[in-house]
């Protein structure tokens, strides 16, 4: 990346933070609803090192904020986390899963396959992945975080009453971006969690002592086959391609990170941090939408978040598990709900404003050559087809809770439309082709008759 672009991104980070510091700080906590539940569950399960995860994820936050200049999240690899929690993975098995996914992503990046994926995957399918991921977050907020709560249970500091108050506050602050909703919610949740744990389980001063984890073949095989391979389509589609599209939609004034640079970032985070027991992480479109929704508009927000994580990891580490475990699910659930809706909103631009609808204003030149672009006008039939492809992708993703299934469903739907349109076009051309063939035959027949008559005249003259 050119040094001049880094300077421009740094200047934008500084200017944005100076103009709206509270919004940037608030937005930095927007992704806690995704981060905390999985990170805490993995730490309690002894599947990762919490202190190492905080230090390394904080470092990645800072680097991505500096290099990309957008609030690109560093969040758990969800498929790996789900399997690791369900099967009580050891640290070695968990990081092996991360190594596997990172290895494939690195190969996709350096060989140019990610750029090829971006060219051949239709925009309606990418939008479907984004909307499906957003709706998945909404469903997760309801089923995992809010549904188990009662009006007064499990305790006075975490129940549906708190969720209702948080939801009302969210609605009231929708049109007031200067109110740091996520920051205030985080502080309130931290205060309530400290009350819940009481004096017996408070965090205490504990310096981070890094150690290495080298998986043996059995651990690597288990992690790679049981969790790593299943994470690859999710990371490729939602954490790389969809993130690049979403960044262009939400922050068009900042240079959009290429899929190659995002892929290399995901690969390096895991290929480095995994040796020390850090949680497998990626850049998710849901996290970007969450941080944007709660105020982040530049990389400064995640740089601050990274510093905060590093301080916690270096000074408190594993002692944080008890208090973080008691963080109110009612508040996390509302934040996840808002993040999911923000991500799902990107489907609105499918037929107006999507990147594949911009074309050169001069049809004889490419958009890059002319420098001037105009919005392509879609027919009603084209709009319906694009909506159907997007919803087919969403349906497959939600029905099977798998990005890969949604992707295949959307691509099959898109391919079916392409074949149908090609068949109709071929059928409409058949009469003209047949007519041309008939005219050609008649012309040949006339030519043959004329030649025969001419030959007969020549024969008559000869006699």
The answer for 275, left when phi > 0, alpha when psi is -120 to 50, beta otherwise, is: alpha
- 313 and 431 share one domain: no
Q: What is the pLDDT of residue 370?
A: 46
Are residue 271 and residue 123 in the same domain, yes or no?
yes
Cα 372 to chain centroid, rounded = 29
Q: Could you tell me if 319 and 397 lie in one domain? A: no
User: 129 and 60, same structural domain?
Assistant: yes
Which stretches of 320-395 are assigned E, i.e. beta strand?
358-360, 373-375
Instruction: Output phi, psi for 321, to 5 deg.
Output: -60, -45
Q: How far does CA 189 lie from the centroid of its chain? A: 27
249 and 398 in a single domain? The answer is no
The pLDDT mean for the chain works out to 83
What distance separates the 2 farthest-apart alpha carbons in the chain?
130
Share of the chain above pLDDT 90, in %: 29
CA neighbor of 123 nearest in space, from 419, 347, 365: 347
pLDDT digits (tens, 9 = 90+) for 170-220: 888 887 767 778 778 888 888 888 888 776 677 778 888 899 999 999 999
If asked whether residues 112 and 248 sit together in one domain, one would say: yes
DSSP letter for each residue of 395-452: HHHHHHT-HHHHHHHHHHHHHHHHHHHHHHHHHHHHHHHHHHHHHHHHHHHHHHHHHH
**Looking at the domain assignment, is residue 293 inside a domain?**
yes
309 inside domain: yes
In a domain, 402, yes or no: yes
Tens digits of per-residue pLDDT, 301-343? 999 999 999 999 999 887 887 777 788 889 888 888 887 887 7
Q: Which two tokens stand for residue 420?
A: 């149908």
Q: Does residue 261 register a pLDDT over 50?
A: yes
Tell me if 393 sits within 8 A of 409, measured CB to CB: yes
Which residue, 76, 372, 79, 344, is CA-closest to 231?
79
Whole-number pLDDT of residue 431: 61
Per-residue pLDDT of 75-117, as tens digits, reads: 988 888 888 887 889 999 999 999 999 999 999 999 999 889 8
Same domain, 341 and 217: yes
Residue at 375 is within a domain = no
In angstroms, the CA 285 to CA 129 distance is: 10
Domain contains 370: no
Q: Is residue 30 very low, low, confident or very high in pLDDT (cuts 50, 70, 90)?
A: confident
Q: How far apart are CA 259 and CA 235, in angstroms?
A: 12
What pLDDT was estimated at residue 69? 92
Domain co-membership, 226 together with 341:
yes
Q: Is the pLDDT of residue 360 over 50?
A: no
Domain check: are 192 and 242 in the same one?
yes
Same domain, 175 and 237: yes
**Which domain covers residue 340, as residue numbers?**
3-346
- Cα separation of 160 and 329, whole Å? 9
Q: What pTM was computed for the model?
A: 0.78
Which of residues 144 and 212 earns the better pLDDT score? 212
71 vs 16: CA distance, rounded Å: 12
pLDDT at residue 455 above 80?
Answer: no
* Structure tokens given for 330: 């009612």
For 390, what's the count of Cα atoms within 13 Å in the CB-facing half-sphere?
23
Cβ neighbours, 10 Å, residue 406: 29
Same domain, 170 and 237: yes
Distance CA 202, CA 449 (A): 106
Q: How far apart are CA 392 and CA 125, in angstroms?
A: 9
Domain end position, chosen among 324, 346, 368: 346
Cα–Cα dist 75/307, whole Å:
16
Considering its fold, how many domains does the chain have in total?
Answer: 2
Q: State how beta strands 281-282 and 75-76 pair.
A: antiparallel
CA angle 313, 319, 322 (to 5 degrees): 120
Q: Is residue 195 part of a domain?
A: yes
Query: What value, to the nearest 5°, has the Cα angle with vertex 405 and ends 399 and 408?
Result: 130
Mean pLDDT of the 65-71 span: 93
- Cβ(400)–Cβ(409) under 8 Å? no
Alpha helix ranges (H) inside 366-402: 367-370, 380-400
Burial class for 422, CB neighbours closer than 10 Å (0-12, 13-18, 19+): exposed
The residue whose two tokens read 């037929």 is: 351
107 falls within a domain: yes
CA distances from 324 to 37, 312, 437 (A): 9, 12, 78
Please, which residues have CB within 8 angstroms of residue 248's CB and are 6 or more apart in sequence? 256, 355
Same domain, 339 and 388: no
Model pLDDT for residues 391-441, shown as the tens digit of each residue: 999 998 888 877 778 888 999 999 898 888 888 878 777 665 555 656 666
Contact present, 302 and 296 (Cβ < 8 Å): yes
Measured between alpha carbons, how far is residue 419 from residues 387, 426, 431 in Å? Answer: 17, 10, 20
pLDDT above 70 (res 365): no
Residue 329 in any domain: the answer is yes
């Amino acid at each position: 990346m050119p040094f001049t672009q880094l300077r421009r991104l740094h200047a934008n980070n500084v200017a944005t933070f100076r103009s709206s510091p509270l919004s940037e700080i608030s937005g930095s906590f927007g992704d806690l609803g995704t981060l905390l539940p999985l990170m805490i569950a993995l730490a309690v399960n002894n599947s990762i090192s919490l202190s190492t995860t905080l230090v390394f994820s904080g470092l990645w936050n800072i680097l991505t904020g500096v290099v990309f200049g957008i609030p690109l999240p560093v969040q758990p690899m969800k498929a790996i986390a789900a399997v690791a929690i369900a099967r009580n993975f050891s640290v070695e098995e968990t990081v092996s899963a991360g190594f596997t996914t990172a290895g494939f992503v690195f190969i996709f990046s350096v060989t140019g396959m990610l750029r090829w994926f971006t060219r051949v995957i239709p925009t309606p399918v990418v939008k479907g992945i984004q909307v499906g991921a957003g709706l998945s977050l909404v469903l997760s907020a309801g089923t995992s975080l809010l549904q188990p709560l009662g009006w007064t249970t499990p305790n006075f500091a975490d129940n549906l009453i708190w969720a209702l108050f948080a939801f009302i506050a969210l609605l009231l602050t929708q049109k007031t971006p200067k109110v740091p909703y996520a920051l205030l919610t985080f502080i309130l949740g931290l205060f309530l969690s400290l009350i819940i744990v009481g004096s017996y389980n408070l965090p205490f001063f504990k310096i981070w002592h890094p150690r290495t984890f080298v998986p043996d073949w059995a651990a690597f095989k288990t992690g790679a086959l049981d969790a790593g391979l299943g994470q690859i389509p999710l990371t490729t589609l939602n954490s790389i391609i969809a993130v690049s599209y979403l960044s262009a939609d939400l922050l068009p004034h900042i240079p959009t990170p290429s899929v190659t640079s995002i892929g290399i970032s995901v690969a390096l985070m895991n290929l480095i941090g995994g040796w020390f027991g850090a949680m497998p992480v990626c850049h998710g479109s849901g996290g970007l939408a969450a941080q944007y929704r709660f105020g982040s508009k530049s990389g400064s927000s995640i740089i601050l978040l990274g510093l905060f994580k590093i301080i916690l990891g270096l000074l408190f580490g594993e002692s944080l598990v008890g208090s973080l475990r008691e963080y109110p699910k009612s508040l996390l659930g509302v934040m996840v709900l808002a993040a999911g809706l923000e991500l799902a909103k990107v489907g609105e631009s499918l037929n107006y404003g999507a990147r594949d609808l911009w074309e050169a204003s001069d049809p004889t030149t490419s958009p890059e050559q002319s420098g001037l672009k105009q919005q392509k006008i879609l027919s009603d039939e084209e709009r319906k087809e694009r909506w159907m492809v997007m919803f087919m992708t969403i349906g497959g993703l939600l029905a099977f809770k798998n990005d890969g299934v949604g992707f295949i469903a959307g691509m099959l739907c898109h391919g079916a439309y392409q074949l149908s349109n090609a068949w109709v076009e071929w059928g409409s051309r058949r009469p003209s082709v047949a007519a041309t063939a008939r005219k050609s035959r008649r012309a040949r027949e006339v030519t043959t008759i004329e030649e025969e008559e001419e030959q007969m005249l020549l024969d008559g003259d000869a006699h």
